[in-house]
């Protein structure tokens, strides 16, 4: 028994549709999408879900999250006399939270973060998960105890999950992990691969995630590249978030983080690698990322003083952009995409930087695609992130009656949403045909 979803006004991809209609099969996939007027006879009323005066846009895909960091929202802005109040002092506060969570705490904070994501129109999350073991580094009886808590939280909320299992080994070159980093660390790559196998056997979608070139040495990066290739799963890595990471990599390896990751084979497979942040990257790094993804996290990058992503340069060489909520201080991919564009304006002195054509047309649609299709591609999905036949019906419903949109010309409504809006515009979220909100 299929269901038909309609709305009074809507946009499918970059095509305006007067009254969009989506016929959705029981498996949550779209069997037909288009204008109601083109479809002929309407389906029985009991099978129609009418969203009224709303826009239906593709569900947003959050390509980078650390759910547990939701626990320190607003709590890191004081400044002690000897505190430089920079990325590294923020990290100390975050580590304190990381060391105090037990399995129930991980479940509770993750569920809270994912509930907020779903309400914000986010239908799928890539969780860059590195809380693995007990605070002293000893594995729990089940080495995947904390991963299962994340899986359970996502299932209970109803959001799609790709568990980007993090491999973490050290504090830096020739430095063992700090006490507060021990629970992030597996014994070795074999132990990590064992955890990955157990998760996959239970049907969990996973990705391979070396934390960063600071936290993983070259031999382990080589092994992780082999593992990712053999499993044919996505690879996500924190890359060049801070200048210090670049400096340390130059000292240890004589090259940039991106060049090191390429040299071990992690970027060999097209469209399977995602550089998270990529703020302090060069043209040579961008060349490596030409057929890969870069995940920007502008609210977190602003919060932590990381810098601005060279998004235009990356787009120019063919990189696919995605966005993530990262620290979850803010959970709002409309804001992430908006700030990605605004960061480019601040950096370049120009406007409509990420629009697909020279005249700046369809900027809103381009930002929407970054927040949906870009993330889906980054996480390895081929039928997610668009509202088209064969794709899953994952959607965010935008309330056109919201005061923020009052008086906006209908032909400019997408640009208004994506250049001035926020997640408060989302009135309902649909995941695989199941409605929340």
Q: Which stretch binds Zn ion (CB under 5 A): 29-37, 82-90, 244-252, 320-328?
A: 320-328
In the complex, least distance from residue 211 CB atom to Zn ion, rounded to whole angstroms: 9
Rounded alpha-carbon distances, angstroms, from residue 343 to 221, 241, 348: 32, 15, 9
Alpha-carbon span 401 to 416, nearest angstrom:
13
Nearer to Zn ion among residue 285 and residue 326 (C-beta)? 326
CB burial readout 357-387, b (16+ within 10 A) else e: eeeeebbbbbbbbbbbbbbbbbbbbeebbbb
* Residue with the two structure tokens 């996290």: 297
Alpha-carbon span 163 to 160, nearest angstrom:
10
What is the pattern of x (binds Zn ion, CB under 5 A) and - over residues 387-426?
----------------------------------------
Nearer to Zn ion among residue 326 and residue 373 (C-beta)? 326
Q: Which stretch binds Zn ion (CB under 5 A): 52-60, 96-104, 201-209, 324-332?
A: 324-332
In the complex, least distance from residue 423 CB atom to Zn ion, rounded to whole angstroms: 20
Q: Which residues are catalytic?
A: 277, 326
Q: Which stretch binds Zn ion (CB under 5 A): 34-42, 181-189, 319-327, 415-423?
A: 319-327
Alpha-carbon span 410 to 53, nearest angstrom:
12
Contacts of 24 (CB under 8 A, 6+ apart): 2, 3, 4, 5, 30, 31, 393, 433
Rounded alpha-carbon distances, angstroms, from residue 289 to 27, 40, 52, 293, 402: 35, 46, 42, 7, 39
Size of the site for Zn ion (CB under 5 A): 1
Q: Which stretch binds Zn ion (CB under 5 A): 28-36, 152-160, 321-329, 394-402?
A: 321-329
In the complex, least distance from residue 258 CB atom to Zn ion, rounded to whole angstroms: 16
Residue 158 DSSP class: T
Nearer to Zn ion among residue 326 and residue 415 (C-beta)? 326
Nearer to Zn ion among residue 55 and residue 330 (C-beta)? 330
Contacts of 26 (CB under 8 A, 6+ apart): 1, 2, 433
Contacts of 15 (CB under 8 A, 6+ apart): none
In the complex, least distance from residue 227 CB atom to Zn ion, rounded to whole angstroms: 21
Residues 44-63 that bind Zn ion (CB under 5 A): none
Contact 258, 264 (CB under 8 A): no
In the complex, least distance from residue 159 CB atom to Zn ion, rounded to whole angstroms: 18
Q: Return the residue nearest Zn ion (CB atom).
A: 326
Alpha-carbon span 345 to 357, nearest angstrom:
16
Nearer to Zn ion among residue 21 and residue 236 (C-beta)? 236
The DSSP bridge partners found for residue 236 are 274
What is the pattern of x (binds Zn ion, CB under 5 A) and - over residues 65-94?
------------------------------
Nearer to Zn ion among residue 326 and residue 332 (C-beta)? 326
Q: Which stretch binds Zn ion (CB under 5 A): 156-164, 173-181, 326-334, 379-387?
A: 326-334
In the complex, least distance from residue 357 CB atom to Zn ion, rounded to whole angstroms: 32
Tokens coding 27 = 């498996």
Contacts of 46 (CB under 8 A, 6+ apart): none
Residue ranges that bind Zn ion, judged by CB under 5 A: 326
């Amino acid at each position: 028994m299929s269901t038909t979803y309609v709305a009074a006004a809507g946009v499918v991809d970059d095509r305006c549709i007067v009254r969009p209609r989506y016929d959705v099969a029981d498996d949550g996939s779209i069997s037909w999408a288009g204008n109601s007027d083109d479809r002929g006879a309407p389906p029985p009323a009991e099978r129609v879900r009418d969203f009224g005066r709303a826009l239906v846009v593709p569900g947003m895909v959050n390509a980078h999250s650390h759910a547990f960091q939701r626990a320190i929202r607003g709590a890191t802005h004081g400044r002690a006399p000897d505190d430089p109040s920079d990325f590294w002092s923020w990290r100390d506060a975050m580590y304190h939270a990381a060391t105090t969570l037990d399995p129930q705490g991980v479940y509770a904070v993750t569920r809270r973060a994912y509930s907020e994501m779903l309400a914000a129109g986010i239908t799928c999350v890539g969780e860059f998960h590195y809380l693995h073991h007990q605070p002293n580094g000893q594995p729990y009886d089940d080495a995947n105890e904390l991963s299962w808590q994340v899986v359970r939280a996502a299932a209970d909320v109803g959001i799609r999950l790709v568990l980007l299992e993090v491999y973490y080994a050290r504090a830096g070159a020739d430095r063992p992990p700090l006490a507060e980093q021990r629970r992030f660390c597996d014994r070795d790559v074999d132990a990590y691969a064992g955890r990955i196998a157990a998760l996959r056997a239970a049907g969990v979608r996973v990705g391979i995630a070396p934390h960063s070139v600071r936290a993983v040495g070259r031999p382990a990066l080589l092994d992780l590249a082999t593992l990712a290739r053999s499993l044919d799963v996505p690879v996500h890595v924190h890359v060049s978030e801070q200048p210090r990471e670049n400096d340390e990599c130059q000292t240890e390896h004589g090259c940039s983080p991106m060049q090191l990751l390429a040299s071990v084979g992690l970027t060999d497979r097209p469209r399977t690698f995602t550089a998270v942040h990529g703020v302090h990257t060069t043209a040579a790094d961008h060349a490596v990322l030409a057929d890969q993804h870069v995940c920007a996290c502008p609210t977190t990058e602003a919060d932590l003083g990381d810098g601005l992503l060279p998004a235009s340069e990356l787009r120019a060489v063919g990189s696919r952009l995605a966005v993530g909520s990262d620290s979850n201080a803010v959970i709002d991919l409309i804001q992430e995409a908006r700030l990605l564009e605004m960061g480019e304006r601040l950096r370049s002195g120009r406007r409509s930087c990420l629009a697909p054509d020279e005249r700046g047309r369809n900027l809103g649609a381009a930002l929407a695609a970054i927040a949906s299709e870009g993330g889906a591609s980054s996480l390895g999905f081929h039928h997610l992130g668009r509202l088209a036949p064969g794709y899953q019906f994952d959607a965010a419903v935008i309330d056109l009656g919201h005061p923020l949109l009052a008086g906006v010309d209908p032909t400019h409504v997408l640009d208004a949403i994506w250049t001035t809006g926020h997640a408060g515009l989302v009135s309902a979220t649909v995941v695989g045909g199941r409605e929340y909100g």
